[in-house]
Structure formats: C-alpha cells, structure tokens
Amino acid sequence: MNLSLLWRSRTSVLRNPIRITNPRYTHTNYRSPSPASLIASVIKHKPSKMAATATPDLPILPAEDSHLTAKFGRETANYFSGSPLNRLSFLRTEHAFLAPAFKHPSASFLLMDNLAPLISTENTSQLAFVSLPEIVDTLGNTVFEKTEEELIKEFNSEDREQIVVFLGVDEKGVLSGHGRSEEKFRYKEFEGVPYFAVDVTKWENKEQLKERIEKERKAGFFGGGPRHMGLIAGQAAMYGYARALIDWNARTPFCAQCGQRTLSVNAGTKRICPPTDHAGGEVKERKPCATRGTVSNHSFPRTDPTVIMAIVSSDGSKILLGRQRRWPKYWYSTLAGFQEPGESIEEAVRREVWEESGVQVGRVVLHSSQPWPFPASLMIGAVGQALPGEGEKIYLGHDAELESAKWFPMDEVKEALAKGTHNMGEATPKEYVEGALRLPPQTAIANRLINSVVDGWWVASRM
Ligand SMILES: [Zn+2]
C-alpha cells in the first residue's frame, strides 16, 4: 500500500476552470433502457454547494423512487463515471459490427498522445474528435476488416501495432462527434455515433498531424500532461476509459505467462498470445504458453481496487483525516490504500486505518466508487466508525506514511469544504483563511466521502 502513489495521482492541476452548461445534458434526452443511459449518463449542470473553487461538474443520476433509495439514500456518482456511451461490450468480437462502425462517416475518433487527449482549444473542458479521413493516411481504413481468427493466424511480431479501442456508441446524440456528418450508424437494434480512441504517440507524422488539427479543428493535445482533470463529467468518463485501455495496451506488449509478444483483440480490450509468428517471412511455431491451454487464452485490462475511507469518531462528532509531509500546508484528506488479496473490502478499510493511524474501526459501510484511470485504480469509498476509548487513539508508529493524522470536529471540516477545497497545484480559493484546513476538490472521491459524513449520510436512512 502506498498512499503517496494514490495521492500523487490526484494532484493534477485544473487547467481551465470553465464551468459550462450543456442544454443537451438533460433528463429528457434519456428514454432508452440502455445501460449507459439508465445507470450513469444523465449529466447536467449542478452548481456546487462548495463553490470555493471552479471544478468540473459531477455526473448526476436521474431521480427515481426505488425501495433501495428509500432505504439507503441516493446513489453517488463520482467524477470519471457517467459516460454517455453504450459500450456494447458483447459486440467487441463482432467484426461485422466493428468494421462498418469504424468506417462510418459519423465515426468519431479521440486521439491520444502520450495519454493526453485531444481537446478543444476554445473550451478545454471539452474533448475534440476527428473523422477517419483526417487520420486514414496513417491509420488505414481496414483496422477491423479481418476476423480475430485471421489476425491470430497472420500474427507477425515484427509488425508495429496500432492501438485502436472501441469506446461505444452515443445513442442519444449527447455528444457532437467530429461534427462533419449527421448520419447515424445502425447495426441490428443499435443506432448512433460510434466512438473510438486511437494512440498516436508513436506516429511518425505526429507533428504535421498536430499542426493540421490545431489549425483546422482549433484543437490540441492537452499540453500539461496525461492527467486532464478539467473535462465535463461525461467526457471525463470517456477520457478515463480511453486512457486506461490505451495505457494498458501500450504497457502490456508481452505475455505475462511466457514473455512473448501479444496481439490486441476484442477492439482493444483483450490481448492474446498467438501460437505462430510470421516474423522473418516464414511461419514459425512459438514457444508453448499456458494461456493457450486450459488456464486461459487471454489477458484482460487490470483494475486495481483501492479502499478510501472517511472514519467517524465513536460519538459521531469528529472525522479522521491524515496528511503526508510533501502535501501543501494544512492539507488533509481521507486515508486510503490498496486492497490486498485475501481480505474483504471492510477488512481492508479496518487494516489500512489501523496501520496508518492506529485507530481501530468497527462497522464499515460502502458509500460509492470512482474509476481512477491513473493508471487503473477503482477507488472504493467507504465510511467507517471508530471503536470508543482506546480505539480512537492515534498512533503513527506502525507505518511511516503519514506525517500527521488528526480528529477534526465536523464544523471545522464543514468550513473547509466551503472555503478550502482546491486541486493540489492550484492557489487556495479567495475565501480561504491562512492556517485553516484545506481539502481535495469534488473531483476526488475523498471530497465526496467527507461531504457525506459532514452531511450526516451515515446517521439515518434518507427518504
Ligand atoms: Zn504467452
């Protein structure tokens, strides 16, 4: 477990704190029962109660009155969730779907350079997409023409791999695509604009491509690096998904079992270890590999579960927060750490809190989760309550990770949520008073957990 790793991934600077309202992101856009629309893609502008800093909006789920909501309260949707796309994961092996989707005039491509996405230079909270004709010279138009069986049979470890990932279909026209075609792609009962992500990092003509895109599209790659935290909610989720998959494909060129080169299949969501290789102009059998036998014949992108928890004191009056030495002065956050094999999430929460702070936690309740694509975490947010008496005693001697851990009264934390939240690289909000507690912004699940605890989420069920 290394909290500093987790926290480092949360320190991106918000480059363009523009808050925008897109009238197309309304409930009325969503009538389809597709997973993307039902679960997490109703996105609308919501002014933050903690308006100390301009941070991107969060995904908002549709109102509903289920028994589950009556008992447990509303579901929390965190930043990096809420993609407007239907992933259609069951079609990733169907090249009869992928090939025409890829070549369709509406098909929209998110280019990524060293994991930095192409974004509009006029509004950096928006991704920018290009059409196939703009990149066909380098990418070609036959990417999904061959079946996976054919690709495996023709595998040549000397070929340079183009990393292309199918992201999904925008069925409701939430996004504007590349803006050069009104036509919708149709396949069976599915209709909409297909989206793909393409890694241009190793393209030889990258500089010319960038120049042309900058001029014609008024778009550019995010200059500050591969951690764009200023995108509007739904697009942040698309970026997170594309980033995680492109990164995984690029960093996993070899088989984990036998060390030989692998081949990307399933539209960028699976890599396999082919049995033969055409390298050098002749077909050779490759070394045996267990992944081709009974163990499995593939490897999938990883998702690393991470627990992150707001711990309430036994009397409910305080919350436990910690800080690392290199963080800005007065900056605290919830404790966090990697989930380990052989333990439940609840146990990981209790173990991490005890190891880092000495505090003993009793009951733990799951709160919400957040995809965190830096590079492949799933933040599992929980709220726990400390055991009374000795259980609340802070001791930092087990693990040298934290410089300080403290119990903060709820009122002080409430004040910090209102006046002291901002990204780590940013200046403090103007309302902030030097010396007061500072906290992460609402794009971090830590902020949502702290907010929920202060708001009494853990006290009684909401109606
Ligand atoms: Zn292998």
**What are 4-26's pLDDT values in tens digits?**
333 333 333 222 222 223 322 22
Cα of 257 from ligand 1 centre, angstroms: 5
Q: Cα of 120 to ligand 1 centre, how many Å?
A: 41
Q: Can you give the pLDDT at residue 387?
A: 98
* Ligand 1 mean position, distance from CA 297 (Å): 9
Contact (CB, 8 A) for 379 and 308: yes
Question: What's the gap in Å between 287 CA and the centre of ligand 1?
Answer: 8
CA of 340 relative to ligand 1 center, distance in Å: 26
CA of 258 to the centre of ligand 1 (A): 4
Separation CA 269–CA 266 (nearest Å): 5
What is the Å distance from ligand 1's center to 280 Cα? 20
pLDDT for res 459: 84
* Residues 262 and 253: beta-carbon distance below 8 Å: yes
Question: CA torsion 19→24→30→32, rounded to 10°?
Answer: -120
pLDDT of residue 110: 98
Distance 40 CA to ligand 1 centre (A): 37
C-alpha 300 – ligand 1 centre gap (Å):
13
Q: How far is the CA of 88 from the centre of ligand 1 (A)?
A: 28
Q: How far is the CA of 290 from the centre of ligand 1 (A)?
A: 7
**264 Cα: distance to centroid of ligand 1 (angstroms):** 13
pLDDT band at 297 (very low <50, low <70, confident <90, very high): low
| Poorest-pLDDT segment among 40-44, 74-78, 285-289, 344-348 | 40-44
Tell how far the Cα of 380 is from the centroid of ligand 1, in angstroms: 32
**CA of residue 291 to ligand 1 center, whole Å:** 6
Residues 278-314 as b or e (16 or more Cβ within 10 Å = b): beeeeeeebeebebbeeeeeebebeeeebbbbbbbbe
Ligand 1 geometric centre to CA of 151 (Å): 16
CA geometry: angle 417, 56, 413, nearest 5 deg: 5
Which residues have beta carbons under 5 A from ligand 1 (an ion)? Answer: 255, 257-258, 273, 289, 291
Please give the distance, rounded to the nearest whole angstrom, from the Cα atom of residue 270 to the centre of ligand 1.
13
CA of 159 to the centre of ligand 1 (A): 17
Q: For the chain, what is the mean pLDDT?
A: 87
Measured CA to CA, the distance from residue 213 to residue 199 in angstroms comes to 15
pLDDT value of residue 63: 87
Burial class (CB in 10 A: 0-12, 13-18, 19+), 427: exposed
State residue 191's pLDDT score: 98
> What pLDDT, in 10s, does the model give residues 25-60?
222 222 233 434 333 333 333 333 333 334 678 898
> pLDDT band for position 462 (50/70/90)?
low
Ligand 1 center to 178 CA (angstroms): 39
Span from the CA of 259 to the centroid of ligand 1 (angstroms): 6
* Whole-number pLDDT of residue 461: 59
How close is the Cα of 253 to the center of ligand 1, in Å?
11
Contact in structure between 87 and 167 (CB atoms under 8 Å): yes
pLDDT tens digits for 136-191? Answer: 999 999 999 999 999 999 999 999 999 999 999 999 999 999 999 999 999 999 99
